[in-house]
Amino acid sequence: MFERQRTVLRAAGGGYLLAGFLLALAVGAAAFVARQDPHRLPRDWEAVLAQRVEQTGAAVLAGVLLFAAALAGLILSLAVAARARRLHPTSATLGGLLVAAGLVALAGVAVWTGVVAPYAALQYRAATDELRRHALLMEAHLGEHVAMLGFWCFLGLAAPGLYFLGRALRGERGWAPDSLKLAAALILLHLPVTLYLAQQSLLHQRHVAWLAVLDQLLLWGGLAAACYLAARWLRRVGRTLPP
């Protein structure tokens, strides 16, 4: 699939767009956690469902953007893995499969938050049976945990996948191999930092804003840099291929 110049260059172009999206996400996430404690947001589920009904269009748009980002990441990772297989086939194959599996989980989160959750909110608005409304409230509560599960599956699979892709590119000139390994390390660092922030917030009512901001910038900024440098490497390789 990634044997022709046009296909590889298109994958690299998608990687550049994905890097820009992740950079914007890093800034937005950092700004959000600087003002809000994400672990102590008010959870009046009736109000949450009512708000989802009013913001259905925005939720669908966000879901589409997240799905498109997951798809662009999938194409980029498969293209990098396909070209890196000529250097180190085992690491490239394993890395590509792990990152692809993580991005499939992220695509599932996009579908859940962009389609399933707004549809459930519309059902709640239209329902007249109290038992049905209660079931939809419980579904909304559990849905938040389902989305969290999918997100952490993405991170848990992407971290080793990025590391193996970085190993597959070892010996290549440029910063792409190191940036992939660094992104993997920053993802792994995100887990203990998140648990620490949750403990401080939920048990001690303390929001460590500076650490939350730094964590978001490192996580998404590291992924943005890895995508950009991987796309740059892919573009350089693609120029040597037949059109």
Residue 114: pLDDT above 80? yes
pLDDT given at position 195 = 96
Highest mean pLDDT among 13-27, 128-142, 161-175: 13-27
In a domain, 147, yes or no: yes
Residue 120 lies in a domain: yes
- List of residues 6+ apart from 140 with CB closer than 8 A: 45, 48, 49, 117, 120, 121, 124
Establish if 104 belongs to a structural domain: yes
Long-range contacts of 168-175 (CB under 8 A, 24+ apart): 168/81, 168/84, 168/85, 168/87, 168/88, 168/91, 168/92, 168/95, 169/80, 169/84, 169/87, 169/88, 169/233, 170/88, 171/87, 172/87, 172/233, 174/229, 174/232, 174/233, 174/236, 175/229
- Report whether pLDDT(135) > 80: yes
Please say if the pLDDT value at position 59 is more than 90.
Answer: yes
Mean pLDDT of the chain: 93
Give Cα 237 to chain centroid, integer Å.
Answer: 26
What is the helix (H) or strand (E) element at residue 227, kind and residue range?
A: helix 209-238
Is 216 part of any domain?
no
pLDDT surpassing 80 at residue 223: yes
Q: Quick one: what percent of the chain has pLDDT higher than 90?
A: 76
- Total domains present in the chain: 1
pTM value surpassing 0.75: yes
Residue 239 lies in a domain: no
**CB of 59 within 8 A of CB of 117?**
yes
pLDDT in tens, 151-175: 999 999 999 999 999 999 988 888 9
Per-residue pLDDT, 50: 86
Residues spanned by the domain of 171: 41-205
Both tokens assigned to 189: 């660092």
Single-letter amino acid code for the residue at 112: W
CA distance 60 to 105: 18
